[in-house]
Amino acid sequence: MNIPENLRYSKEHEWVRIEGDEAYIGITDFAQSELGELVYIEIDTVGQTVERDEVFGTVEAVKTTSELFMPVTGEIIEFNPSLDEADGDNPGLINEDPYGDGWIIKVKIADMSHYDELMDAAAYAELIG
Amino acid sequence: MKNTPLTQIHIALGAKMADFAGYNMPIQYSSITEEHLAVRKKVGVFDVSHMGEFIVSGKEALEFVQKVTSNDASKLNVGDIQYTCLPNTDGGIVDDLLLYRMQDDKTTGFPVFMLVVNASNMEKDWNWIASYNTFDAEMKNISDQTGLLAVQGPEATAILQKLTDINLSDFKYYTFQTGSFAGIDNALISATGYTGSGGFEIYIPADKTVQLWNAVMEAGKDTGIQPCGLGARDTLRLEMGFCLYGNDIDATTSPLEAGLGWITKLKKPADFVGKDWMTAQKEAGLKRKLIGFTMQERRVPRHGYQIFDHQENEIGVVTSGTQSPSLDQPIGMGYVPVDMAQEGSIIFIQLGKKLMEAKICNLPFVKI
């Protein structure tokens, strides 16, 4: 299972990549593998500030539905247009490239301490066994 | 958790495994969509050895089977198969099953039936059926000694024909023959399945299951035969509108409500469990009905989601839902009041905090 060293991870299987005070957030390779083929990503929180651990969206796989939880409090400034049904509409990118082209949202982080409290790759690897 | 004879093969093939009805079963090997489309377009193979098989035999075997099942077993000739159910005594279903009319017993000449039941209900079914055995009939559970593969799809016949002298192209749907298959004596080849794409189900002694799997995979190699898991089995059956016990039918749903009136023969020449309440229900008229619907938007309905009308009154519940790989669209089934069950009617499915529009459609979702 691919767990890049340069990312931080939440117990809800989201990853966070930091760029200044902004962050890209997606789901981990483990999460996409457990969910199977993704068919639709719903994010209707763009422009809103969502608290840590609150729901910011939903992913639909063939077999199951899963909610997405904010790993850090912040304002959602972008939904990956390649996933958005109004644009690229290619949710399968999350299966193909969960840490790259399959990023889900871009966030302006409100409290950097939330990022510091996330798991590193080693801790996340231990979580998923 | 129990293994099927093929569990190690599934693991070696890299299948995602999960506990299903107490068995360690493959959910998917590659992807549900890929496996699904292989069955629709070519051929796929499923290990369904977890299914339960009971043999009922004896002088009054027919009378016994007639007593506990809703369809008319007296219509079956040797080699015929019937879809039927075990009604309970208070308006619901104990299980749905396939009933096979086997060769008469060679020594006694008495009739023999095989009942193929859901793995999840095996023990419950056994106890239920046994509790009605006041007949001169015997029951035997051969589930652990029986392996079962389903080979499904338009190419299934051509592939399987390489493995047997029995003429598979003359086979009528819902009939079976016994004979040698892939060098296995006494295989039972059944023109049945749960996918809607045609094909066969092959019953063999459990210790021959690996031999059969290998032979089928080899025979289908050039056609690109695809091992398929329970994930694709579910999407395939749902596209056809086939009921799944525990989802669409259960101890609280009547076969009449579920659109299974055709397996309830109220006029058959025998009394049977559930006949009273079924007759009463038919006379009084149904209150609710199992319908199919397609979502107008992209969210996927799931078992247990609530259904609402235009006035936001709760009117029913979703029993099954998935993203249809053939239609590339979310589909579902659920119960709604009969007066709201017309094709084309708009209903609303609750997804989280939102109500999303869905349209009632005819079943099956996919015509093959």
DSSP A31-98: HHHHH-SEEEEE---TTSEE-TTSEEEEEEESS-EEEEE-SS-EEEEEE-TTT-TTTT--TTHHHH-T
Kindly state the average pLDDT of the residues A32-45: 96
**Is A36 close to B31, i.e. CB distance below 8 A?**
yes
Say if A87 is an interface residue toward chain B (CB within 8 Å): no
Q: What is the pTM of this model?
A: 0.96
SS3 B255: coil
For strand B44-47 and strand B226-228, is the pairing parallel, antiparallel, or unpaired?
parallel
Work out whether the CA dihedral B224, B226, B232, B233 comes out positive or negative: positive
- Give me the pLDDT at residue A1, please: 87
Interface A-B, measured as beta-carbon pairs within 8 A, has a size of: 46
- Give me the pLDDT at residue B353, please: 86
A-interface mutation test, from B323, B349, B353, B354, most A Cβ less than 10 A away: B323
pLDDT tens, position by position, B70-114: 999 999 999 999 999 999 999 999 999 999 999 999 999 999 999
Alpha carbons A88 and A47: distance in angstroms, whole number: 20
Beta bridge mates, B348 = B308, B357
* CA-based nearest distance A61→chain B, Å: 8
Which residues, 6+ apart, have CB-to-CB distance to B130 below 8 Å? B139
* CA-based nearest distance B322→chain A, Å: 6
**Is A39 close to B235, i.e. CB distance below 8 A?**
no
A-interface mutation test, from B299, B318, B327, B353, most A Cβ less than 10 A away: B299
Contact criterion met (CB below 8 Å) for B246 and B120: yes
Alpha carbons B28 and B32: distance in angstroms, whole number: 6
pLDDT tens, position by position, B211-263: 999 999 999 999 999 999 999 999 999 999 999 999 999 999 999 999 999 99
Which residues, 6+ apart, have CB-to-CB distance to B167 below 8 Å? none
Say if B329 is an interface residue toward chain A (CB within 8 Å): no
If phi over 0 gives left and psi between -120 and 50 gives alpha, with beta otherwise, what is residue B85? beta
Q: What is the ipTM of this complex?
A: 0.90
- Give me the pLDDT at residue B352, please: 87
pLDDT tens, position by position, A61-117: 999 999 999 999 999 999 999 999 999 999 999 999 999 999 999 999 999 999 999
**Is A42 close to B300, i.e. CB distance below 8 A?**
no
Alpha carbons B148 and B87: distance in angstroms, whole number: 26
Say if A1 is an interface residue toward chain B (CB within 8 Å): no
- Domain spans in chain A, listed from the N-terminal domain onward: 8-118
Kindly state the average pLDDT of the residues A25-54: 97
B-interface mutation test, from A40, A62, A66, most B Cβ less than 10 A away: A62
Instruction: Say how far residue B169 (Cα) sits from the centre of its chain.
Output: 23
Say if A44 is an interface residue toward chain B (CB within 8 Å): no
Alpha carbons B146 and B165: distance in angstroms, whole number: 22
Say if B26 is an interface residue toward chain A (CB within 8 Å): no
Considering the segment(s) A8-118 as one domain, its CATH architecture is Beta Barrel (2.40)
Low-confidence ranges of chain B (pLDDT < 70): none
Mean pLDDT rounded to a whole number for chain B? 97
